[in-house]
């Protein structure tokens, strides 16, 4: 199958001032697009795995032929991660969690402030590039999981609920070295309704 860049569900400037238009143009239009191109290229002539869905490529990455596994993992992971990341943000969102996710946060972390502070600690503590997730483990428990580079919860048998991209390309144009400020600003665009659907 041919993998495609999903349509961004809002305009490039829709998340201003928290996430700026230029960052969105480059992040979605260049970085994400390049991962999609790289994924299609990595699967050229790859036989059976070239017809796998994006989710299957992540879930069953250990079954992908060793020769192309790293290239496929990088591109498929980044494609899947970005595709989810865009859908969990939106203009005029943020605020207190609502719906099912509010219950999960209360039951797991006590309150929203504690959750935010733990999530921020994980996001600022992740060395180098990666993603910070709220994920549900196979035992049904929710946990904050920082993962390096291209990895995602699917590759670890977990379900992804919420995610923040902490690669420098996600914030450097506006926030430079101030990753903590980017994390603080990001809460203003989190779409809790969309997150609740993943609980
Ligand atoms: Mn990114």
Distance from residue 163's CA to the centre of ligand 1 (Å): 11
Angle at 69 between CA 64 and CA 72, to 5 degrees: 100
For residue 1, what pLDDT band results from cuts at 50, 70 and 90? confident
Global pTM reads 0.97
Distance from residue 85's CA to the centre of ligand 1 (Å): 9
**With pLDDT > 90 as the criterion, what percentage of the chain qualifies?**
99
**What average pLDDT is seen over the chain?**
97
CATH of domain 21-87: 1.10.287.990
Distance from residue 196's CA to the centre of ligand 1 (Å): 22
pLDDT in tens, 55-78: 999 999 999 999 999 999 999 999
Distance from residue 107's CA to the centre of ligand 1 (Å): 30
Distance from residue 187's CA to the centre of ligand 1 (Å): 17
Helix (H) / strand (E) element for 146: namely: strand 142-148
Asked if residue 17 has a cis previous peptide bond (ω within 30° of 0), the answer is yes
Query: Is domain 100-196 given the CATH code 3.30.750.24 in the classification?
Result: no
Distance from residue 82's CA to the centre of ligand 1 (Å): 6
pLDDT in tens, 83-105: 999 999 999 999 999 999 999 99
Token reading at 187 = 């809460």
Q: What mean pLDDT do residues 28-47 have?
A: 97
Residues of the chain with CATH 3.55.40.20: 100-196
Residues of the chain with CATH 1.10.287.990: 21-87
């Amino acid at each position: 199958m041919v993998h495609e860049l999903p349509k961004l569900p809002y305009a490039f400037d829709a998340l201003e001032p928290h996430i700026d238009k230029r960052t969105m143009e480059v992040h979605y239009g260049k970085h994400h697009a390049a991962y999609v191109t790289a994924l299609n290229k990595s699967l050229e002539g790859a036989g059976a795995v070239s017809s796998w869905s994006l989710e299957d490529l992540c879930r069953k990455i250990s079954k992908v032929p060793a020769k192309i596994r790293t290239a496929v993992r990088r591109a498929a992971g980044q494609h899947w991660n970005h595709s989810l990341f865009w859908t969990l943000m939106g203009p005029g969102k943020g605020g207190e969690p609502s719906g099912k996710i509010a219950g999960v946060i209360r039951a797991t972390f006590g309150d929203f402030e504690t959750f935010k502070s733990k999530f921020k600690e994980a996001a600022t503590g992740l060395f180098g590039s990666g993603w910070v997730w709220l994920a549900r483990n196979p035992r049904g428990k929710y946990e904050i999981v920082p993962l390096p580079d291209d990895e995602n919860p699917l590759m670890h048998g977990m379900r992804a609920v919420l995610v923040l991209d902490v690669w420098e390309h996600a914030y450097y144009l506006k926030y430079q070295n101030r990753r903590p400020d980017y994390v603080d600003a990001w809460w203003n665009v989190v779409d809790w309704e969309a997150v609740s659907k993943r609980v």
